Structure 1
């Protein structure tokens, strides 16, 4: 498979909502959850600067709240946010239409939960003929469910990259990476990414 082409990418942010998890469920995993939020906020900010479309989903927002503030604040002005009822984004007609409207065939998936909504979305999009890339350090499920979800995706042939790998696929050259950093010095780098 070739490197990830940013001109053919759309980012899909899945269900990173303020009330998705009760606070007590995150006690053990708070650092991992917060790191995922930072990675997604950075990816969406980079996407904004590179004109990569972003589609955001919110599962049952009346119950689970809306997209967490650090990500919401980093979203491009043109990002589309839609409610989600089926676990797989592709199984929601409005979300599928928003993805198709981007004109992109490579979908970069981030969000929660790795073993359910991210996995279902990746599998259904892959089955529909899309190239699907799951960003493993920008997805989350509590406890061992995260690793189980990644294992399932790997068994299905879904591509997995880190935030760092995605960034360098999008940049391609040292000069492009340096120029991006110089131009966007206000954008803090997430853990694991060094320019």
Structure 2
């Protein structure tokens, strides 16, 4: 997989909503979910710093509530949030139009759920001719569904990488990495990542 070009990337944050997994869902590993949400917020903040356009979706916000506060606080000012009615972001005309308006060829996907909305979005964007990269530690599904989703993506030729790999692809050099860390000391290390 070639390195990502930060100037060709757009970030898509899919359905990371406060009530997507209500407390009664006992099959959800809350620690893993929380770590994924923290990484997504970190990626959104890094995208804001590096001028990567961000598109945010919310599935049935009347039921699932809105995007997690920690992520909303990290988003760049020009990030737009869209309601999502089809599982794939590409099958929602307003979202597809916003993705096209970024004029970026590489879509970096994070969010919920790895095996459904993230997978459907990745596959449809790939069919539409986009380069698609799924951040494997910044997506989540309960139990075995996460790994099943990643396996399906791999079988279809969709690229995956970690938050750490994404960051270093985006900055490329020690000089840019150091400049990023000096400008944003609160973003020194992605959550759960050891350098």
C-alpha distance in structure 2 between counterparts of 1:188 and 1:69, whole Å: 20
1:167 alignment partner in structure 2: 167
Please show how residues 86-101 of structure 1 align to structure 2 within 5 Å.
86-101=86-101
TM-score w.r.t. length of structure 1: 0.96
Change (3 A) 1:80 1:28: closer
Please show how residues 149-160 of structure 1 align to structure 2 within 5 Å.
149-160=149-160
**What secondary structure is seen at the aligned counterpart in 2 of 1:153?**
helix
Matched-pair contact (CA < 8 Å) for 2:136–2:150? yes
Deviation at 1:177, TM superposition (A): 0.7
C-alpha distance in structure 2 between counterparts of 1:193 and 1:140, whole Å: 20
C-alpha distance in structure 2 between counterparts of 1:2 and 1:18, whole Å: 35
**What secondary structure is seen at the aligned counterpart in 2 of 1:55?**
strand
2:192 alignment partner in structure 1: 191
C-alpha distance in structure 2 between counterparts of 1:183 and 1:19, whole Å: 33
1:12 aligns with 2:12: yes
Deviation at 1:92, TM superposition (A): 0.2
Change (3 A) 1:193 1:26: farther
2:112 alignment partner in structure 1: 112
- Structure 1 runs of 4+ aligned residues shifted over 3 Å read none
Deviation at 1:25, TM superposition (A): 1.8
Deviation at 1:186, TM superposition (A): 2.7
Change (3 A) 1:50 1:77: same
1:12-38 Cα offsets, whole Å, 9 max, x none, are 000000111121325750110000001
1:125-160 Cα offsets, whole Å, 9 max, x none, are 000000000000000000000000000000000000
CA RMSD of aligned residues (A): 1.1
C-alpha distance in structure 1 between counterparts of 2:42 and 2:120, whole Å: 24
**What secondary structure is seen at the aligned counterpart in 2 of 1:18?**
coil
Matched-pair contact (CA < 8 Å) for 1:111–1:140? yes
Deviation at 1:188, TM superposition (A): 4.7
C-alpha distance in structure 1 between counterparts of 2:13 and 2:194, whole Å: 20
1:134 aligns with 2:104: no
Kindly tell me the number of residue pairs found equivalent between the two proteins: 194
TM-score w.r.t. length of structure 2: 0.96
Q: Which ranges of structure 2 fall in alignment gaps of 5 or more residues?
A: none
Deviation at 1:182, TM superposition (A): 1.2
